[in-house]
Amino acid sequence: MTSGSLRKIAAFVVVVASLFVTCTSPVMAQGASITLYDSNCTRFDLSGSPGAQTLTCVVSTSPTPGGPTGPTAPTGCIPWILPYSLTNAGGDVNVGVSGCPAGTVPWWTRNGVSWVPTTDRLPPNSLTTAVTTSYQVTVCNGSACTTLAPVTAIVPGTGGTGGTGSTGGTGGTIGGAACPGYSRTMFYNWNWASGSFTVDTYNSSQGPIGPNGIVVIEFTPVATGSSLGVAIAGYPGNLNGTDRAISISTAPCDFSQPFPWTRYGYDTGTQYSIAPSVVRGLATLVAGTRYYLNIASRNEAGVSTCQAAGAACDMRISANVP
């Protein structure tokens, strides 16, 4: 028995006509075999008719990023920025990204320079023109990355002022940048030590909320307790109520956390306990951790429930402490 050599031509190898088996008896022909090996080949395909057949080497290829077996770039990520009442005196801002798949790694820049997100204290602005700070994040799943649109903080010049909140809170947006997908973001800083907190969105200097607005209340619990709650009622409009979404999250604008951290329903509120107290069916908060109450007139599909005439878009939000 003789065998020819295997020749690789570009993306395949053809076993040339000299590759054949000469047998002296039918028994040997039936039992004859050829073993071929080439590390570049994933498999060998046999084609053609008996007596004139060809073996083709199918060349193996490495997966490329984003391919069927490679990593895919993260989707669903939303960058956010929220203020703590900025005027030309400056102030603190926080940025972050929500909605990314688990395992996503964010890489931030501040004005184009690599930066690790912290509370960014922006200095006073004595100029007549505004000073803008840009924050941008690239989110990666392995080697597959997506760069998201930047969010900006604006410290007004000496001719401009920032927004103020109501009932013990401060608020406003920075240069119009706030929760993506909402036409208005009403932001408040709830000082837990000052006691219970109430917001009337209609009467707030940031209101009215409108059919596509969101309320974000930042707070840090500093005491233990159980069965504390946040109540919501349509006010001063239609008291028949409206379906709403409410969440407690470590990120603003975020409704991605499962029940009981996020709830949907008819003027739904929420309850929570503070560790070490644990109450079945309630979110358990940790004292000293910054949280955000996110409240919007939307259903579970993310559709506004305040488009119809007479809908109670504005609301009274009452949050309690021990």
| Domain shared by 181 and 280, yes or no | yes
Residue 145 makes CB contacts below 8 A (sequence gap 6+) with 73, 138, 139
| Domain shared by 190 and 253, yes or no | yes
Asked if residue 116 has pLDDT above 60, the reply is yes
Kindly state whether residue 248 falls inside one of the protein's structural domains: yes
SS3 for the chain, per residue?
CCCCCEEEECCEEEECCCCCCCCCCHHHHHHCCCCCCCCCEEEEEEEEECCEEEEEEEECCCCCCCCCCCCCCCCCCEEEEEECCCECCEEEEEEEEECCCCCCEEEEEECCEEECCCCEEECCCCCCCCEEEEEEEEEEECCEEEECCCEEEEECCCCCCCCCCCCCCCCCCECCECCCCCCEEEEEEECHHHCCEEEECCCCCCCCCCCCEEEEEEECCCCCEEEEEEEEEECCCCCCCCEEEEEEECCCCCCCCCCCCEEEEECCCEEEEECCCCCCCCEEECCCCCEEEEEECECCCCCECCCCCCCCCCEEEEECCC
What pLDDT is stored for residue 33 in this prediction? 61
| Domain shared by 299 and 273, yes or no | yes
Least confident of 64-68, 116-120, 162-166, 220-224: 162-166
Arithmetic mean of pLDDT, 289-303: 90
Can you give the residue range of the structural domain that contains 192?
176-322
What pLDDT is stored for residue 163 in this prediction? 34
Kindly state whether residue 302 falls inside one of the protein's structural domains: yes
| Domain shared by 81 and 53, yes or no | no
Kindly state whether residue 264 falls inside one of the protein's structural domains: yes
Least confident of 3-7, 22-26, 36-40, 212-216: 3-7
**Which of residues 135, 162, 189 is at a domain's end?**
162
d(CA 164, CA 172): 6
Arithmetic mean of pLDDT, 101-129: 90
Question: Count of domains in the chain?
Answer: 3
What pLDDT is stored for residue 275 in this prediction? 86
| Domain shared by 197 and 319, yes or no | yes
Arithmetic mean of pLDDT, 134-163: 80
**Which of residues 131, 162, 193 is at a domain's end?**
162
Peptide bond just before 74 cis, omega within 30 deg: no
| Domain shared by 300 and 188, yes or no | yes
| Domain shared by 230 and 200, yes or no | yes
∠80-86-90 over CA atoms, to 5°?
110
| Domain shared by 206 and 291, yes or no | yes
Least confident of 14-28, 76-90, 275-289, 293-307: 14-28
| Domain shared by 85 and 52, yes or no | no
| Alpha carbon 67 to its chain's center | 23
Structure-model confidence comparison of residues 15 and 87, the more confident one: 87
| Domain shared by 99 and 232, yes or no | no
| Domain shared by 205 and 304, yes or no | yes
Kindly state whether residue 293 falls inside one of the protein's structural domains: yes
91-95, 135-139, 274-278 — which one is most confidently predicted on average?
135-139
Identify the H or E element spanning 30: helix 26-31
- The CATH number that applies at residue 133 is 2.60.40
What pLDDT is stored for residue 262 in this prediction? 95
What pLDDT is stored for residue 22 in this prediction? 41
What pLDDT is stored for residue 246 in this prediction? 96
Cβ–Cβ under 8 Å, residues 14 and 55: yes
Asked if residue 144 has pLDDT above 70, the reply is yes
Kindly state whether residue 168 falls inside one of the protein's structural domains: no
What pLDDT is stored for residue 254 in this prediction? 87
Kindly state whether residue 167 falls inside one of the protein's structural domains: no
Kindly state whether residue 132 falls inside one of the protein's structural domains: yes
Cβ–Cβ under 8 Å, residues 252 and 189: no
pLDDT tens for 224-256 read: 666 678 999 888 766 567 889 999 998 888 898
